[in-house]
Amino acid sequence: MWKWMNQDLALSLETFHRDAFGWACHCCGNGPADPADVLQMAYLKVMEGKARPRNRNVLKTWWFGVIKLTAREEHRRRRLRESLPGRWLFRTSDWETFPPPTTKIELDEVSGSLKSALARLPLRQAEVLHLVFYQDLSISEAAAVMGVTLGSARTHYERAKARLREILEPSSEP
């Protein structure tokens, strides 16, 4: 039934599962897509053989790339469905197969303000910060996930840190 996903790959993906969910949460942000749903569709891509790792040494960065792409596709699909022609086209509804977002994460004040500060950063800057500080990746690994050069990732990283501090500092003062 599984066209391509073998036991070995399944085990590897299981070790990244928590990280992958965190990355899916970041990629979905405040958009209409659900992180659990995105992750599920990314696994589906691997099962169907639509996504295959070329090099097992960079499995994590490849997997994060697949999740990022899937989140974008899901975001577009949900936007289309919410549009007027989309509502007409999908009026028979495929909510059974693709249910609406259900993952609700309750955050405290600090984490909530960090999340909203990240949402205010440009996309690349937010990505590099998440990959480095949340996922503990090196900047070169983050560059591979983001699909940019190391120099570009480093620039995004430096600017992002400065900008994030600027956003967070006023709220952290008494």
Partner 1 sequence: MISPDSNDDDLRKSFRALREFEDKCVPSFQGILAESRSRMEKPAKSLWITMGSGVLTGAVALAILIFANLKSDRPSRTLAETLPMLLPPSAEPNFLSPVSSLSEIDFPSDAVLPLSLRFSL
Interface with partner 1 by CB under 8 A: which residues?
1-2, 10, 13-14, 17-18, 21-22, 25, 36, 39-41, 43-44, 47-48, 89-90, 92-94, 96-98, 103-108, 110-111, 114-115, 129-130, 132-134, 138-141, 150, 154, 157, 161, 164-165, 168
Cα separation, 110 vs 147, in Å, equals 30
Cα separation, 31 vs 101, in Å, equals 10
Euclidean distance between the first and the last CA atom of the chain, given in angstroms as a whole number: 59
CB 15 to partner 1: min, Å: 9
Structure tokens at 148: 């940019």
Closer CB to partner 1, 59 or 103, in the complex = 103
Side chain identity at 146, as an amino acid letter?
M
Cα separation, 48 vs 53, in Å, equals 13
Closer CB to partner 1, 56 or 165, in the complex = 165
Rounded to a whole number of angstroms, the CA Rg of the chain reads: 18
CB 27 to partner 1: min, Å: 13
CB 72 to partner 1: min, Å: 18
Closer CB to partner 1, 95 or 123, in the complex = 95
124 in Cβ contact with 89 (< 8 Å) = no
Cα separation, 131 vs 128, in Å, equals 5
CB 53 to partner 1: min, Å: 17
CB 144 to partner 1: min, Å: 11
| Alpha-carbon 147 to chain mean position | 14
